[in-house]
Amino acid sequence: MTGMQDFFGRAAAAPDRVVLVMAETGARFTAGEVAQRALAMAQWLHTQGLQAGERFAVVLENRVEILALALAARQAGLYAAVLSTHLTPAEVAYIVQDCGARLVVASAKTLPQLAELQAHHPLPCWTVDEAPAQATSVQAPSLQAALDALQGPPADFADRPLGRDLLYSSGTTGRPKGVLKPLWPAHLRGQTDPEALGTARIMGMGEDTVYLSPAPLYHAAPLRYTLRVLELGGQAVIMERFDAETALALIERYRVTHSQWVPTMFGRMLKLPEAVRQRYDLSSHRVAIHAAAPCPVDVKHAMLDWWGDILMEYYAGSEGCGTTMINSADWRQRPGSVGRPTTGRLHIVGDDGQELPAGEIGQVYFSGGGQFSYLNDEEKTRQAINERGWITYGDIGHVDAEGYLYLSDRRADLILSGGVNLYPQEIENALMRHPDVYEVAVVGVPHPDFGEQPLAAVVLRHGAQASLDTARAIAAQAAEVLARMKLPQRVVFVDALPRLETGKLLRRKLKERFRDEPQAGFALRDS
């Protein structure tokens, strides 16, 4: 039965079926081409000496090679650490070392991000393009040439487990953390991925699916869902970068059935002139999945009025310890809810560790979902799991009498900006580098487009001048080690930060203050 085949089995059975389209160039790839490339990459990784369970790093913009390398990792029983293309060279160097990657695959565009790694901890590094030698200090041979030169009988991976991705969340303590999920055992080889079967059931995906992915593939949901669509025999249309009108045109052009969004994208599509919004035929569109950040209730209502009841919202995390989901009809009855569990069971836990009844607010835990650990961080793994073995993403919320979850607040130490998790501690550590900064606290304040944006409350050293120039100088120094999206958008100079007698920072108090005055202080960029 074809329903039980994996991607490679399907590709062997129907090699000429187009399974990937790159939206910008219109380049089309058949199942046979993608499978062939992925199998060659798996062989190449084997020739590089990588053993089952080992890791390699991928730093690529949205292109077919990301997916081929993820499929190669699956085949060869390896972890592919897929990194954001927005990280600074220092952040890339840290993650590649932290995950123990044996080699790195990059492109002409991303090679400069490997400069720090290669200067201090050189690793074998390949490029998927023919990179002009003079363009960067990083020397990288061509991966294609290495694949063309493969010789000898192919390695036998039959006894190896099935590999998967290794994704990094930003770290609350300032360092990103790798989310390590166990590999699937070898006996599942040749069968459809169990997670893909779950997606097929809930989202109605299968061989007739045309899935639009408008987001970067280094995020968990776009990468995993695109791979599941390939696994189920569907087709994926990948946008190199998001543009509101282009996304609508693609739904019409490719007769898209399923898609995935973050609320910021909805906001941008809703801002298009009415005539543009009505220009495109969206009748093929059956399921629009959205997650990653709380969707403002009015934005969601406006999307439902426009697209009809096709929105599926879920709440989950890269850790994959539990998922809730809600369809449009249920959401209309319960605006603001993120649904009921589809994997795992929900528990709301009070400060005393006891489970709370419906209606009461506490920390959200899941039991019976997936297992994971944070790579090289036993302490953080321990903090996420309570004495009963329940696991939390760290969010606060309550359930109603029917068991529907409402998130009242993401944890105070998390800023969700345009669907990306930003951790204040990491930003604070970077701002503290400036000699004029005595103390600093970063919180998320409301932003019409991104949901939230980071604001820094800074206590200056004695004698420093509270001015726009000082604010700019502090941010400029932080920009040496922080990706642009993490930089604070506003700086407010304050006399003191709100603290308990114990010295603990009352971040929530700051958040409340600036929630009411998001325009306080100095703006560092107009976005």
Task: Give the residue ranges of DSSP H helices in 255-325.
Answer: 263-270, 274-278, 297-307
Among 434, 494, 433, 425, CA closest to 454: 425
Return the pLDDT at 2.
46
Do residues 149 and 172 share a domain? yes
Residue pLDDT, tens place only, 374-417: 999 998 899 899 999 999 988 888 999 999 999 876 665 678 88
Do residues 361 and 488 share a domain? no
Contacts of 359 (CB under 8 A, 6+ apart): 398, 399, 400, 401
* Structure-derived torsion over alpha carbons of residues 261, 267, 271, 275, reported in degrees to the nearest 10: 40
Q: What is the pTM of this model?
A: 0.83
Q: According to the 3-state scheme, what is the secondary structure of 68-122?
A: HHHHHHHHHCCEEEECCCCCCHHHHHHHHHHCCCCCEEECCCCHHHHHHHHHHCC
User: Residues 140-144: contacts with CB within 8 Å, 24+ apart?
Assistant: 140/106, 140/111, 140/114, 143/41, 143/44, 143/65, 143/105
Q: Which of 166, 183, 200 finishes a domain? A: 183
Can you read off the two tokens belonging to residue 5?
Answer: 């085949």
Q: Is residue 316 part of a domain?
A: no
CATH number at 394 reads 2.30.38.10
Do residues 364 and 451 share a domain? no
pLDDT interval class at 502 (50, 70, 90): low
Number of neighbours of residue 513 by Cβ within 10 angstroms:
16
Residue pLDDT, tens place only, 352-379: 889 999 999 889 999 998 889 999 999 8
Do residues 123 and 42 share a domain? yes
Residue pLDDT, tens place only, 167-218: 997 654 567 889 999 999 999 999 999 899 999 999 999 999 999 999 999 9
Task: Give the C-alpha distances (Å, rounded to integers) separating 478 from 1, 203, 344, 434, 445.
Answer: 56, 42, 40, 8, 20
Of the CA atoms within 13 Å of residue 395, those in its CB half-sphere come to: 26
Do residues 467 and 357 share a domain? no
Do residues 151 and 167 share a domain? yes
Return the pLDDT at 320.
86
Number of neighbours of residue 352 by Cβ within 10 angstroms:
7
Task: State mean pLDDT over 252-260.
Answer: 98
Residue pLDDT, tens place only, 286-329: 999 998 777 878 889 999 999 999 999 999 988 888 999 999 99
Q: Longest C-alpha distance within the chain, in Å?
A: 75
What DSSP line would sit under 130-169, residue for residue? ---GGG-S----BHHHHHHT--SSPP--TTSPB-EEEEEE
Q: Is residue 283 part of a domain?
A: no
User: Strand 104-106 relative to strand 125-127: parallel, antiparallel, unpaired?
Assistant: parallel
pLDDT at 82 over 80: yes
* Domain of 397, in residue numbers: 338-411
Number of neighbours of residue 327 by Cβ within 10 angstroms:
15
Residue pLDDT, tens place only, 475-493: 999 999 899 989 999 999 9
CATH number at 518 reads 3.30.300.30
Return the pLDDT at 289.
97
User: Strand 258-261 relative to strand 210-213: parallel, antiparallel, unpaired?
Assistant: parallel
Number of neighbours of residue 249 by Cβ within 10 angstroms:
14
Q: Is residue 276 part of a domain?
A: no
**How far is residue 57's CA from residue 100's CA, in Å, rounded to a whole number?**
9
Q: Is residue 258 part of a domain?
A: no
Q: For the purposes of burial, counting CB atoms within 10 Å of the CB of 390, is it exposed (0-12), middle (13-18) or buried (19 or more)?
A: buried
Q: Which strand (E) or helix (H) includes residue 288?
A: strand 287-290
Of the CA atoms within 13 Å of residue 279, those in its CB half-sphere come to: 15
Can you read off the two tokens belonging to residue 499?
Answer: 């603290």
DSSP 525: S
pLDDT interval class at 526 (50, 70, 90): low
Among 248, 237, 257, 251, CA closest to 18: 237
Among 128, 105, 130, CA closest to 117: 105
Do residues 343 and 370 share a domain? yes
Which residue is listed with tokens 């701002």?
A: 431
Residue pLDDT, tens place only, 410-453: 665 678 888 888 888 789 888 988 989 988 999 999 888 888 89
Q: Is residue 373 part of a domain?
A: yes
CB 342 within 8 A of CB 318: no
Return the pLDDT at 210.
98
Q: Is residue 57 part of a domain?
A: yes
For residue 95, report the phi and psi dihedrals to the nearest 5 degrees. Answer: -65, -45
**How far is residue 405's CA from residue 399's CA, in Å, rounded to a whole number?**
4
Do residues 39 and 167 share a domain? yes
pLDDT at 230 over 80: yes
Q: Which strand (E) or helix (H) includes residue 429?
A: helix 424-431
Task: State mean pLDDT over 263-272.
Answer: 90
Return the pLDDT at 1.
41
Do residues 386 and 432 share a domain? no
CB 71 within 8 A of CB 82: no
pLDDT interval class at 107 (50, 70, 90): very high
CB 439 within 8 A of CB 183: no
Do residues 369 and 385 share a domain? yes
Q: Which of 157, 183, 209 finishes a domain? A: 183
Task: State mean pLDDT over 128-148.
Answer: 82
**How far is residue 121's CA from residue 137's CA, in Å, rounded to a whole number?**
14
Q: Where are the beta strands (DSSP E) in 154-209?
A: 164-169, 177-180
Q: Is residue 504 part of a domain?
A: yes
Q: According to the 3-state scheme, what is the secondary structure of 458-484?
A: EEECCCCCCCHHHHHHHHHHHCCCCCH
Return the pLDDT at 231.
97
- 112-116, 185-189, 200-204, 501-505, range with the lowest pLDDT: 501-505
Domain count, the chain: 3
Q: What is the crossing angle of helices 263-270 and 297-307, to 10°? A: 60
Q: Which of 129, 151, 183 finishes a domain? A: 183
CATH number at 132 reads 3.40.50.980
Do residues 53 and 161 share a domain? yes
Contacts of 115 (CB under 8 A, 6+ apart): 89, 136, 137, 138
Do residues 451 and 358 share a domain? no
Q: Is residue 125 part of a domain?
A: yes
